[in-house]
Amino acid sequence: MSDMTTIARPYAKAAFEFAADKQQLAQWGEMLGFAAEVANNDQIKELLTSSTSADKLAEIFVAICGEQFDAHGQNLLRVMAENGRLQALPDVCAQFHILKQEYEKEINVEVISATELTEQQKADISSKLEQRLERKVQLNCSVDETLLGGVVIRAGDLVIDNSARGRLKRLGDAMQS
CATH code of the domain containing 88: 1.10.520.20
Closest listed residue to residue 96, CA positions, set 23, 3, 28, 7: 28
User: Are residues 67 and 10 both part of a single domain?
Assistant: yes
User: Are residues 93 and 110 both part of a single domain?
Assistant: no
Q: Residue 168's CB: how many other CB atoms inside 10 A?
A: 11
- Mean pLDDT for 5-27 is 91
Please report which confidence band the pLDDT of residue 14 belongs to, taking 50, 70 and 90 as the band edges.
very high
User: Are residues 45 and 79 both part of a single domain?
Assistant: yes
- Mean pLDDT for 27-51 is 86
User: Are residues 80 and 139 both part of a single domain?
Assistant: no
pTM as predicted = 0.67
User: Are residues 142 and 61 both part of a single domain?
Assistant: no
Containing structural domain, residue 110: 105-176
User: Are residues 7 and 86 both part of a single domain?
Assistant: yes
Mean residue pLDDT across the chain: 86
What pLDDT does 1 receive? 43
User: Are residues 31 and 45 both part of a single domain?
Assistant: yes
pLDDT, one tens digit per residue, over 102-135 is: 888 888 889 999 889 899 999 999 999 889 888 8
User: Are residues 37 and 87 both part of a single domain?
Assistant: yes
What pLDDT does 2 receive? 57
